[in-house]
């Protein structure tokens, strides 16, 4: 996957995470606030209902006080004047007060006179207060103490809003000669009137045992409504009825709409920012990086060391491009020098093999450079610069400044991590360059001083040889190293040359596997030290499970015509096994091949005398 696609996917994922986080915050924080506001509004509506009931009781208390502080009533309770009773204690008096019940009580609690009218027809009806005709203890106490009292009274026909006032002499003086009680039936018309005062749709039901006896107020919610119920009691604390209001959940509905709108706006704004960011990245980072990558791939594919990128930039990409051009220039100089020395010495075949191996070494070098380019591309330099400029301006609000500071810390850690990865990639490039320099050094000193020897273990030797294969060849081989490879320690060997020989043998095995239609083939390597004529000899055994030849083909395997044709057919540059045999012979060693027949694999045995 190209860097451009990776960056695009990463930015899209970041936008998705941002939108998901914003949606979660709104659902977990903002929406509950709307719901709580809605509940508070419903409870406030119920408080208005309670205040309306209290106002009704206060109005009844005022009417009861007017009658109780009437001098004529005070005198009537003393002399029981029949003319007063006939003129004032009538149905008309009840209707004039706009109440449903009027009673005059003696100081001992007995009724002097009482009258109840049906609210709908105005016809007198019988009502028994508290269903027994007796007053509650709190009402009897108010009667005895000569004070006003209000509250709800249960009757056999319904619940009354009632008020009682002491009977005084007209000047609010006593002693009290009883109590006047006025009451209004809490029916549907009265309920609607209270609802209009509270500005809410009000309903009522009598309290029963199914109601919550411990909660005076109860709130329930559905998907569309919020309902609040309040239990009203008499002066003794016994629940009598439940008033309820049901309001639509408009606040939470508007809150949900606001949450959706803000999420859509964030998604749209994020999409615009993402598009602008991708365009800027393409122009500033991704495009130039792709140019460097394409140039490196063209050099690796065409093996044309005369091409130069000549990319003029003052940032890290410009430095990388200049370093790559310098490295290609040095490599071209080395190749020209090697070709000139080979021509002068007459070893044209050997020089051709060296150039072939240098070409093979360029492939992993290009891969390492591509990895370095990817790491450098991942460095968010422009984001850091823009964020730092905004942070240093200090014009943003404190929350934005805090976010910028956190973002700068995150970018700093990302740059440190990317720098570490780039350092690793540069280390790989240095290793590949050392391989190239080793090849050139060996060929440079060979005519005068013999092969260049270096301390190296057989295990490291095998690792270097297989590292030169391309990805397709490595994927076809199942490499197995015998215990003898790991047991042997460092030996003084021409490491670079032997690694190239092992590369050719592994490349030959991968080619045989491909021609045989095998997805993967075993490639076994063994090593041991022998003693011949008092001299130590390193034996390397290589067995490839793919391929296999008859006896005649095995004898011709290392001949130039056969090996060159086989190598050219696989893109090996015309070196192949013939070059391996010549190289080992020049080092004083030998290579032999064995096969049990066609399709039964090949075994190679390399013998190399060690220097004292």
Residue 3 within a domain:
no
Pair (302, 430) in one structural domain: yes
* Residue 525 bridge partners (DSSP): 481, 542
CA atoms of 559 and 269, how far apart (whole Å) = 71
Pair (52, 118) in one structural domain: yes
Among 230, 248, 266, which residue terminates a domain?
A: 248
CATH of the domain at 241: 3.30.450.20
Range of the domain at 292: 257-449
* Residue 542 bridge partners (DSSP): 525, 604
Nearest to 396 by CA among 381, 413, 408: 408
CATH of the domain at 499: 3.30.565.10
Residue 1 within a domain:
no
Pair (24, 168) in one structural domain: yes
CA atoms of 191 and 36, how far apart (whole Å) = 28
Residue 118 within a domain:
yes
Query: From residue 338, how far is each of 331, 344, 351, 580 by CA, in Å?
Result: 10, 10, 7, 19
Pair (324, 210) in one structural domain: no
Among 203, 226, 248, which residue terminates a domain?
A: 248
CA atoms of 120 and 545, how far apart (whole Å) = 110
Pair (542, 495) in one structural domain: yes
Q: What pLDDT, on the 0 to 100 scale, is given for residue 210? A: 67
Pair (104, 215) in one structural domain: yes
Residue 500 within a domain:
yes
Residue 4 within a domain:
no
Pair (332, 242) in one structural domain: no
Q: What pLDDT, on the 0 to 100 scale, is given for residue 22? A: 81
CA atoms of 495 and 451, how far apart (whole Å) = 10
Angle, to 10 degrees, between the axis of helix 348-377 and the axis of helix 495-515?
80
Pair (558, 463) in one structural domain: yes
Pair (167, 121) in one structural domain: yes
How deeply is 426 buried, as exposed, middle or buried, from its count of CB atoms within 10 A (0-12, 13-18, 19+)?
middle
Among 201, 227, 248, which residue terminates a domain?
A: 248
Q: Please, which residues have CB within 8 angstroms of residue 91's CB and are 6 or more apart in sequence?
A: 115, 117, 122, 124
Residue 231 within a domain:
yes
Q: What pLDDT, on the 0 to 100 scale, is given for residue 566? A: 47
Residue 578 within a domain:
yes
Pair (445, 574) in one structural domain: no
Pair (156, 130) in one structural domain: yes
Residue 130 within a domain:
yes
Mean pLDDT by 10 residues, the chain (612 residues): 81 88 82 86 90 93 93 91 89 91 92 90 89 89 93 91 94 91 92 89 84 72 89 90 89 83 85 87 80 80 72 78 80 57 46 61 72 73 76 76 80 81 79 74 56 83 87 88 87 86 90 86 91 87 86 80 45 64 88 86 90 74
Q: What pLDDT, on the 0 to 100 scale, is given for residue 160? A: 93
Pair (405, 469) in one structural domain: no
Total domains, the chain: 3
* Residue 432 bridge partners (DSSP): none
């Amino acid at each position: 996957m190209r860097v451009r696609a990776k960056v695009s996917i990463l930015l899209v994922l970041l936008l998705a995470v941002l939108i998901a986080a914003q949606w979660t915050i709104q659902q977990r924080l903002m929406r509950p606030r709307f719901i709580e506001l809605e509940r508070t509004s419903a409870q406030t509506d119920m408080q208005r209902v309670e205040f309306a009931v209290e106002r009704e009781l206060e109005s009844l208390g005022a009417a009861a006080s007017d009658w109780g502080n009437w001098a004529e009533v005070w005198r009537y309770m003393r002399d029981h004047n029949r003319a007063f009773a006939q003129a004032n204690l009538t149905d008309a008096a009840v209707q004039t007060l706009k109440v449903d019940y009027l009673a005059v009580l003696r100081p001992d609690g007995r009724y002097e006179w009482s009258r109840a009218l049906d609210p709908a027809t105005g016809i007198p009806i019988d009502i028994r207060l508290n269903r027994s005709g007796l007053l509650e203890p709190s009402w009897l106490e108010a009667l005895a103490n000569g004070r006003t009292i209000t509250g709800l009274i249960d009757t056999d026909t319904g619940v009354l809003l009632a008020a009682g006032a002491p009977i005084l002499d007209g000047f609010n003086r006593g002693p009290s000669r009883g109590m006047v009680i006025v009451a209004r039936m809490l029916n549907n018309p009265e309920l609607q009137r209270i609802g209009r005062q509270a500005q809410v749709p009000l309903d009522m039901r009598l309290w029963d045992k199914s109601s919550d006896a411990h909660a005076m107020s109860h709130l329930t919610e559905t998907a569309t409504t919020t309902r609040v119920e309040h239990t009203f009691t008499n002066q003794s604390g016994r629940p009598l009825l439940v008033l309820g209001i049901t309001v639509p959940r408009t606040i939470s509905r508007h809150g949900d709409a606001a949450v959706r709108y803000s999420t859509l706006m964030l998604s749209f704004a994020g999409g615009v920012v993402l598009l602008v960011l991708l365009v800027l990245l393409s122009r500033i980072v991704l495009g130039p990086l792709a140019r460097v990558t394409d140039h490196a791939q063209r050099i690796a594919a065409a093996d044309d060391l005369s091409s130069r990128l000549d990319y003029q930039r003052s940032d890290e990409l410009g430095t990388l491009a200049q370093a790559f051009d310098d490295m290609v220039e040095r490599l071209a100089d080395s190749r020209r020098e090697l070709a000139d020395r080979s021509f002068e010495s007459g070893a044209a075949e050997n020089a051709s093999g060296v150039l072939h191996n240098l070409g093979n070494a360029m492939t992993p070098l290009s891969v390492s450079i591509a990895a370095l380019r990817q790491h450098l591309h991942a460095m968010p330099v422009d984001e850091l610069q823009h964020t730092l400029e905004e942070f240093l301006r200090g014009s943003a609000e404190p929350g934005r400044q805090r976010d910028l500071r956190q973002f700068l810390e995150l970018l700093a850690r990302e740059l440190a991590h990317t720098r570490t990865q780039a350092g690793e990639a540069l280390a790989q490039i240095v290793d590949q360059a050392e391989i190239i320099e080793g090849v050139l050094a060996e060929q440079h000193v060979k005519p005068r001083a013999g092969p260049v020897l270096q301390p190296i273990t057989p295990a490291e030797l095998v690792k270097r040889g297989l590292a030169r294969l391309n990805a397709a060849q490595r994927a076809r081989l199942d490499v197995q190293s015998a215990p003898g490879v790991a047991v042997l320690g460092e030996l003084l060997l021409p490491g670079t040359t032997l690694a190239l020989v092992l590369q050719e043998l592994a490349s030959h095995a991968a080619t045989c596997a491909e021609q045989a239609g095998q997805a993967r083939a075993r490639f076994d390597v063994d090593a041991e030290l022998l003693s011949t004529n008092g001299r130590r000899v390193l034996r390397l055994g290589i067995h490839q499970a793919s391929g296999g030849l008859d006896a005649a083909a095995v004898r011709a395997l290392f001949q130039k015509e056969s090996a060159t044709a086989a190598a050219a057919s696989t893109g090996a540059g015309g070196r192949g096994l013939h070059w391996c045999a010549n190289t080992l012979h020049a080092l004083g060693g030998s290579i032999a091949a064995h096969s049990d027949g066609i399709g039964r694999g090949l075994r190679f045995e390399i013998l190399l005398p060690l220097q004292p």
